Structure 1
Amino acid sequence: MRSLGQAQAPPGAGDGKAAAPAGQTARSVKQRDAFFDNAKYLAIVLVAIGHAWEPLRDESRTVTALYMVVYAFHMPAFIVISGYFSRSFDAAPGRVKRLVTGVAVPYIVFETAYTFFTRWTDNEPGRDISLLDPLYLTWFLAALFIWRLTTPIWRVVRWPLPLALGIAMLATMTPTIGKDLDLQRALQFLPYFVLGLCLKPEHFALVRRRAVRMLAGPVFLGAVVVAWWAVPRMNYAWFFHRTSAEQLAAPVWYGPVMTLALFACSTVLAACFLSLVPGRGTWFTALGAGTLYGYLLHGFVIQAANKYHWSHLDWVQEPLGKIVVTLIAGAVVTALCTPPVRRVFRFVMEPKMDWAFRRDPVADAKSR
């Protein structure tokens, strides 16, 4: 696995557009849903904070506990949203084009860019470019490409979620799964994507009820306490879903059991997280449309900072220092989601590439 650290989160998990209730006009459907944009922004901030905490884990049991809690739900929440907005994917020409330009092309570009960049940061001038072995943050793009292509299958099978869980459980028992496209991680995170495919707008309305919001705080507090207790007793690499049970020095049967236990835990925490997300427009709502930018670009900042061993500074080891690092990480990723940054990098993140695709006669006929 070529991941540099334990990067666990994805870019914009959906297009942020509201699902269409009955009777809603086509024009209103195109409007972005503030709730999902808020959720994506807050999750991408947690991604950056989690990466900033990585070098501090060995020095602080509290940081490690918080790290475990964050990694237990921020990736599942993103993938659930991704699955929810993939429900309409039917392999039509227009949707395949968007999949290629919005996922495959950024994957190729950033896989190459990170390879060259980490030759400098990691002092490995001979590191090869391998489009089949995702590096650092790019694994999610490869997984999203695979998941979305399989969407039509999950839409027709009778029991999609149990089937996806079964596949994830088997993956944890299969250490021979190769590194190609980080397939181990794609299979183990698959149930969250399928769960998103199965959800409807009323399910999100359910977790945003006042009663759920009131329970979210105590649940998170309890999760932190359990995580603090578990730090010396549990290998938190289970939350990364990137290796088999055998590779984690555990009995083979641990894999299926941990898959079910973590799915239950992560789903509850993701629901609590979503219950606390504002449903109205806020100052950061517009930034939710730029989470792909913040996700892919903040890795360069993290890698450059790690090259100079910032975590070895004395003041960083103090409680106040850790708070400052957390705030800086949030501020950096926020800046990378802003419109000026998006305008600069749009040619890479959202390329038009009309020259690369055949014209769709059906779409042309409709436009005429």
Structure 2
Amino acid sequence: MERNAFFDNAKVILIFLVVFGHMIQPFAADSNTINAVYTWIYIFHMPAFIFLAGFFAKGIGDMKYVWNLFKKILIPYLIFQLVYTFYYFGIGKPDWDSSILDPQWSLWFLVSLFSWHMLLIVFKKIPMGFSISAAVLVGIIAGYFGEIGQTLSLSRTLVFFPFFLTGYFLTVSHVMVVKKHFMKIAAVAVMAMFFGLVYFMPDIDTGWLLASQSYSDLGADNEGGIIRFTVYIAATLMTFSIFTFVPTQNLGWITGLGAKTLYVYLLHGFIVQFLRQFDILSVNQWYDFVFIIIMSALIVIVLSSQFILTLTQPLVELRTKKLRALFK
């Protein structure tokens, strides 16, 4: 598909929020404001990112398609699973030891991304309304089974799949409905409402937003399905509310960052986990919070730089085109 400035801009905003969310996570328990910002971001940032991944998943599902996905997604997962394991051991992270079936930290997304493409082979043959409804039902039912956990990211795969599937079925014209003027007014109301909710209810368990635990683990054996359905509604409303304010025009180098978000996603963990392990950051004053915002933006920019892309392309894309061009 041809690059579209709106979608690239959306990816830039979302990858910044991924990095920023990971940066402020250690401080969420110490401040009601930071906790509210953190929880508010987590309502939508991964559902929105997954929606965009589904939007661009237009493959046909034959064996060549599956093999290409294996090379583009699973092999980088295996490489980064090994690299992160050694890195965590090197910096003294206590839970560094992880099997190949238990993705290190944010690498769950790669395992789920491959699985979503595989599920799509079946679900795309079902009419949109029935297909998405079935995916939502599966995501709700999954929470009742404690056996469906973090191994191979199975819980997140099933719970987040409706967003991927919705992205697949929608077209550009469908998404652009959010740019109508009246939608902006509604979007402001939605975003303000949910921020107020998480601010005045700081005890909301963010485990509901991470989608990796069963209802039993979250202390809601009976009402878990209702809560998850509510979370689905909240994430959907917030996702399209955020899209309402994404610029449609090309913003030059900023829009260009949208083509490099996978690099940022895979690499930012080396920086974030280092900062966490050695307690380098702290938030004691308002300007500490501003500093983290600036630092998060700089991480996105630096990890999208030509220098980093050239060095890491063999790991991320299994290609050496940029390195060969450099030596030439």
Aligned equivalent of 1:202 = 173
Q: Quick check: 1:138 aligned with 2:138? A: no
Change (3 A) 1:70 1:286: same
Q: Residue 59 of structure 1 contacts residue 317 of structure 1 at CA under 8 Å; is this kept in 2? A: no
Query: In structure 2, the residue corresponding to 1:317 is in which secondary structure?
Result: coil
> Out of 40, 49, 63, which is 1:78 matched to?
49
Structure 1 position 178, deviation (Å): 4.5
Which has the higher mean CA deviation after the structures are superposed, 154-163 or 176-185?
176-185
Structure 1 position 327, deviation (Å): 1.4
Query: In structure 1, the residue corresponding to 2:42 is in which secondary structure?
Result: helix
Aligned equivalent of 2:304 = 337
Q: Quick check: 1:218 aligned with 2:185? A: no
Aligned equivalent of 2:234 = 265
Gap runs ≥5 in structure 2:
321-328
What is the count of residue pairs matched by the alignment? 317
Structure 1 position 237, deviation (Å): 1.5
User: Aligned ranges for residues 1-368 of structure 1 at < 5 Å?
Assistant: 17=1, 31-86=2-57, 88-124=58-94, 127-158=96-127, 159-232=130-203, 234-250=204-220, 252-283=221-252, 284-311=254-281, 313=282, 316-352=283-319
Q: Match for 2:238: what amino acid?
A: L
TM-score with structure 2 setting the length: 0.92
**What do residues 188-209 of structure 1 show as CA deviations (whole Å, max 9, x unaligned)?**
1111111112212221111122
Q: Match for 2:27: what amino acid?
A: L
Query: In structure 2, the residue corresponding to 1:42 is in which secondary structure?
Result: helix
Equivalent-residue separation in structure 2 for 1:195 and 1:288 (angstroms) = 21
Equivalent-residue separation in structure 2 for 1:208 and 1:90 (angstroms) = 30
Structure 1 position 129, deviation (Å): 4.8
Q: Match for 1:49: what amino acid?
A: F
TM-score with structure 1 setting the length: 0.82
Equivalent-residue separation in structure 2 for 1:97 and 1:287 (angstroms) = 27
Q: Residue 112 of structure 1 contacts residue 129 of structure 1 at CA under 8 Å; is this kept in 2? A: no
Structure 1 position 92, deviation (Å): 2.9
Structure 1 position 245, deviation (Å): 0.9
Gap runs ≥5 in structure 1:
1-16, 18-30, 354-368
Q: Match for 1:185: what amino acid?
A: R
Equivalent-residue separation in structure 2 for 1:128 and 1:54 (angstroms) = 22
**What do residues 217-253 of structure 1 show as CA deviations (whole Å, max 9, x unaligned)?**
2321222111101113x21221111101100122x23
Equivalent-residue separation in structure 1 for 2:24 and 2:66 (angstroms) = 37
Structure 1 position 151, deviation (Å): 1.1
Q: Match for 2:292: what amino acid?
A: V
Structure 1 position 123, deviation (Å): 4.1
Q: Residue 102 of structure 1 contacts residue 350 of structure 1 at CA under 8 Å; is this kept in 2? A: yes
Cα RMSD over matched residues? 1.7
Change (3 A) 1:273 1:178: closer
**Shift >3 Å, 4+ stretches:** 126-129
Structure 1 position 91, deviation (Å): 2.2
Equivalent-residue separation in structure 2 for 1:116 and 1:140 (angstroms) = 20
Equivalent-residue separation in structure 1 for 2:184 and 2:144 (angstroms) = 37
Q: Residue 45 of structure 1 contacts residue 334 of structure 1 at CA under 8 Å; is this kept in 2? A: no
